[in-house]
Amino acid sequence: MKKMWFSLLCKALVLVLGATAAMAKPVLKVGTSADFPPFEFQDEKTGEYLGFDIDLIKAIGEAIGMEVEIVNTAWDGLIPALLTGNFDCIISAMTITEDRLKAVDFSDPYFSASQVIVTKLEDTSIKTVEDLVGKQVSVQIGTTGDLTVSEIDGIIVKRFNLAPDAIQEVRNGGVAACVIDLAVAEEISQQYKDIKYGEPITTEEYGIAIRKGNTQLLEKINEGIAQVKASGKYDEIYAKWLKD
Ligand code: ARG
């Protein structure tokens, strides 16, 4: 008799566990370099990942029925880590470029961006990229800011691992200017009143990077982006993190 109860109990347990597993959402592991406010950064006190990209990927996850798990990884290690399989996709204010398209696939573009030149407030000598020739300029290593200034002869490029450090270098007087994404310049110059930024010098679009050939996930993510845009959630997230 006891044996029968025991076996019934076991069967019930297996059923319950099975049902729970079926209910649990699949996990979408997302790589980001959380050094880029207002797109991705870490709350100093709680360690929580915050920003436009974080909210967007969570909304996309919600739309496609996946649980989002954020994996913080140094910017210049993101693509290699994606290729290794450390995560399924990258959201990191990553511009869709021809060079990156050789290594990864990108989702539909989700944000229009540009590079700007950040200088000290009192600087009047730098307005265009040409004005940077003969000067030291800081960038985050391997970014489109790096690419933009590296293409021009005579600019002395100082590369930093972390985006905020590249901007700090302008404040410290170590370089004449920094080239970085507009919204990041906007965010940081609100915090530090001793720097300013100029007009856009490039036009770019951010996309979510996925390993080549992972078309199933690519389609899902594009479907998620479309849904988040159609529902008005995208505009909500935009208004929360960005000006105008
Ligand atoms: N948009 C630039 C690029 O794709 C900079 C992105 C840097 N992102 C970051 N999370 N630090 O190269």
Angle between helices 182-191 and 163-172 (to 10 degrees): 50
Tell me how far apart the alpha carbons of residues 157 and 138 are, in angstroms, rounded to a whole number: 6
Q: Average pLDDT of 16-44? A: 87
CA distance 143 to 44: 25
DSSP 8: H
Spell out the domain ranges in the chain: 26-112+205-242, 115-202
Q: What is the pLDDT of residue 7?
A: 72
**Mean pLDDT, residues 68-89 taken together:** 98
Question: What's the rounded mean pLDDT across residues 65-72?
Answer: 98
Whether the pTM exceeds 0.85: the reply is: yes
Task: Compute the distance from residue 178 Cα to the ligand 1 centre, in Å.
Answer: 14
Q: Is there an atom of ligand 1 within 6 Å of 40 CB? A: yes
- pLDDT tens digit sequence for 228-239: 999 999 999 999
Instruction: For CA atoms 223, 206, 214, 79, give the dihedral sign.
Output: negative
User: Going by CA atoms, what residue is nearest to atom 11 of ligand 1?
Assistant: 36
Span 115-202: which CATH code?
3.40.190.10
> For position 13, what pLDDT does the model report?
64
CA angle 182, 183, 186 (to 5 degrees): 90
Tell me the pairing of strands 40-42 and 35-36: antiparallel
Confidence of residue 20 (pLDDT cuts 50, 70, 90): low
The model's confidence at residue 18, banded by pLDDT at 50, 70 and 90, is: low
Q: What is the pLDDT of residues 108-164, one digit of tens each?
A: 999 999 999 999 999 999 999 999 999 999 999 999 999 999 999 999 999 999 999
Q: For the domain 26-112+205-242, what is the CATH code? A: 3.40.190.10
How high is the pLDDT of residue 124? Answer: 95
Q: Which atom of ligand 1 is nearest to the CA of 180?
A: 5
CA–centroid distance, residue 184 to ligand 1 (Å): 10
For residue 100, what pLDDT is reported? 98
pLDDT single digits (tens) 195-228: 999 999 999 999 999 999 999 999 999 999 999 9
Mean predicted lDDT score pLDDT of the chain:
94
* pLDDT for res 243: 79
State how far the Cα of 105 lies from the Cα of 22, in Å rounded to an integer. Answer: 30
In the predicted structure, residue 21 carries a pLDDT above the cut 90: no
Ligand 1 centre from 143 Cα, in Å?
Answer: 5
Do 26-112+205-242 and 115-202 fold alike per CATH?
yes
Within 10 Å of residue 121's Cβ, how many Cβ atoms? Answer: 11
- Who wins on pLDDT, 243 or 118? 118
Task: For residues 23-44, give the mean pLDDT.
Answer: 96
Residue 131 DSSP code: G
- Looking at the chain, list the stretches that DSSP marks H as alpha helix, in order from N- to C-terminal side: 2-23, 52-64, 78-84, 98-103, 144-150, 163-172, 182-191, 215-230, 233-241
pLDDT band at 104 (very low <50, low <70, confident <90, very high): very high
Question: How far is the centre of ligand 1, averaged over its atoms, from the C-alpha of 153 (Å)?
Answer: 23
Handedness of CA 32, 239, 223, 97 (dihedral sign): negative
Q: Which two tokens stand for residue 121?
A: 């407030």
